[in-house]
Chains A and B, each alone.
Chain A
Amino acid sequence: MNKMAQSMIAVYVQTDGSMVEPTSLQLITKARAIANGQRVVALLPTSDADQTVATVKQYGPDEILVLADDRFAAATDTEIADGLYQVVEQVQPNSMLIPATVVGRSVAPRLQAKLQTGLTADCLDVYFDGDTLVQVKPTYGDDIMCEIICADRRPQMATVRPNVFQAEPAQAATQVTNVDFEFHPEAHIKMEKPTPIISSSANISDASVVIALGRGADNPQLIEKAQKLAARLGGMVGVSRPLTDHAEFGHESQIGQSGQSIAPDLLINFGISGATQYLVGIENAKTIVSVNTDPDAPIFTKSDYAYVGDANDFMDALLSSTRV
């Protein structure tokens, strides 16, 4: 392999044994879009090279560097970071994109520490300014974004939030290379294969209808009605951050910057004010309806339909007109 190859964007492709995690493919598409002459290279630790390489190829990276080892079916964060480190040291990418999934966010900082470079968390966008990867992430408070750069060290690393970019199949003469690396089993820890959570196998990020509840709709009756409405419309209930205190709404149900980005055909917001951290999660919703007692609530400026009034009244009216 040519060490001094032209500048390269590496994408960590997360796999779970034989399945490729979807954000990884979204990042290959994004990397191709911003590459501007740089090579887009997928780093693929996998226990099932045939199947995962076939999947990744469909998205047209210039090269796939395969780290093949059966033990990647249930590897620890450290083992994955160690494998990636060996490859990154060989190919010296200019920048590296990593899915901001739980695994990605656990592996990336460990790799960062090995490489002694910068890592920006949970980006909503990345673009090049010359050789510099500008990493865009939302930040505290109202309507504030920040751009973070890593001026002097390489690779420039960023984890990127799931579902902010769409994966698009692409044709390319993808080169597939089995890289030299050694799997170093980590002592003192044993990871099992992940067990899918059956109850939330349906994910709000894939739902076509989302009924979203905020602090202004935080009562048991309304929650129950929302669940009924969602079931009738074939949708799901999502929440703003304050409601994740409830046992029935985990992090998986949270919409927004530190939760999920959603893209339903129809989103109905009940009692949500529209903080920036919430709004970044709903930008890709097609039709947005919002219900709020405050006519000046920021959520209305991002809505197609506004109902100024009580969440419960509107919910009841919806339920009675959608009765089957």
Chain B
Amino acid sequence: MKIVVCIKQVPKSDSVKIDPKTNNMVRDNVEGVINPFDKNAIEEALRIKDQLGGEVILLSMGPDGYMSSLRDGLAMGADRAILLSSRAFGGADTLATGYPISQAIKKIGGVDLVLLGRQSVDADTGQVGPIVAEYLNVPQVTFAEELRFVDEHTLYGQRLLDGATQSVQVTLPAVVMVRSELNTPRYETPVNIQTSFEKPIDVWTEHDLDLDATRIGQAGSPTTVQKVYAPKREGRQTVQLSDDSATAVKELLARIRN
């Protein structure tokens, strides 16, 4: 079983700032971590490998700083990692992210299963997975909360819809996007951290892939952020309740009951 897990590095802090002049994220001093859902994807890949054997390859597109997340993923137990990194990939929207990722998966070759997180916690689109699946021309299972192998080529999954669940059975190769309910990611162990430094991280640029140069980076991205702003939200007239909780509740109930 050859499994590719796509991982994105996201800022650790919930409150990243955007420079209102340049529309760019202020990345200074923001520590990067593996997108939490991608840890569930790595965990699932490792469990499948334990069960069926094979190889777990991490794949990420981003600046050199993403190396630290790949290293963390290797310390969880993945076998090797590939970083797509080049100025030419910069400023990509989801379409221009999914394309080089799918070309890299083709280059890796013989991949049975591609796992991704359900969405990134920063930009939050959840679009990269289906785009990769479309480019690879394989079935997709999104928002998977349960996965089980029926036999070596057949995966049973359950996905969570809005207020419903849906069972799906798919023959590999396939692309699967996972929810956090799927599993609990393992911690890195000292031994794994040690050995992670011996595992290879290959860096591929646009020259290492068979790519249409017009479909990558900012130039290959149909969407642009035209404006970033602080919304004017209507504040509310706030009634301050008394400090004593019993009195406060009385005041509140008196007011909202009439």
Interface residues of A (CB under 8 A from B): 16, 76-78, 81, 101-103, 105-110, 112-114, 116-122, 134, 139-153, 162, 186, 188-197, 200-201, 203, 250-252, 257-258, 266, 275, 277, 279, 283, 287-289, 300-310, 313-314, 316-318, 320-321
Contact = CB atoms under 8 A, between A and B. Distances in A.
A149 B93 CA distance: 12
Nearest to B128: A109
B143 A102 contact: yes
B236 interface: yes
Contacts of A143: 230-231, 233
Interface stretch (B46-54, B61-69, B159-167): B159-167
Contacts of B165: 194-195, 197
A304 B237 contact: yes
Given A113-B131, A258-B124, A321-B253, A102 B228 contact: no
A309 B249 CA distance: 12
Given A113-B134, A140-B15, A307-B248, 16 more contacts: A78-B140, A106-B140, A108-B127, A110-B134, A121-B94, A121-B126, A143-B230, A144-B228, A144-B229, A146-B229, A186-B139, A289-B252, A304-B238, A305-B239, A306-B239, A306-B241
Contacts, number: 240
Interface stretch (B79-87, B198-206, B218-226): B218-226
Nearest to A143: B230
A152 B224 CA distance: 10
Nearest to A114: B134
A195 B166 contact: yes
Given A110-B131, A189-B169, A141 B18 contact: yes
Nearest to A265: B256
Contacts of B138: 188
B166 A144 contact: no
B29 interface: no
Nearest to B222: A118
A296 B14 CA distance: 19
Given A162-B162, A309-B243, A304 B222 contact: no
A121 B166 contact: no
Nearest to B243: A309
Interface in B83-129: 93-95, 98, 119, 121-129
A252 B130 contact: no
B258 interface: no
7 contacts: A106-B142, A117-B95, A140-B17, A150-B223, A188-B138, A192-B166, A200-B163
Contacts of B122: 140
Given A145-B228, A195-B164, A318 B241 contact: no
Which secondary structure dominates chain A's binding surface? mixed
B127 A109 contact: yes
B225 A122 contact: no
A76 B245 contact: no
B130 A141 contact: no
Interface string B242-258: 01011011101101100
Contact of A191 (B16, B123, B166): B166
A275 B233 CA distance: 13
A197 B163 contact: yes
B227 interface: yes
B168 interface: yes
A305 to B, nearest CB: 5
Kindly list the 7 A-B residue pairs having the minimum CB-CB distance in the complex, ordered from nearest: A118-B222, A121-B125, A118-B223, A194-B164, A113-B134, A109-B127, A189-B139
Contacts of B16: 140-141
Nearest to A158: B223
Given A118-B222, A140-B122, A144-B229, A313 B245 contact: yes
Please indicate which of the listed interface residues B127, B228, B235 has the most CB atoms of chain A within 10 Å of its own CB. Answer: B127
Interface in B38-64: none
Contact of B166 (A119, A194, A279, A313): A194
B154 to A, nearest CB: 9
B22 interface: no
B225 to A, nearest CB: 5
A188 B248 contact: no
Please indicate which of the listed interface residues B95, B135, B229 has the most CB atoms of chain A within 10 Å of its own CB. Answer: B95
Nearest to A103: B161
Contacts of B167: 191-192, 195
Given A152-B222, A301-B236, A189 B161 contact: no
Nearest to A314: B245
Contacts of B14: 141, 275, 277
A117 B133 CA distance: 16
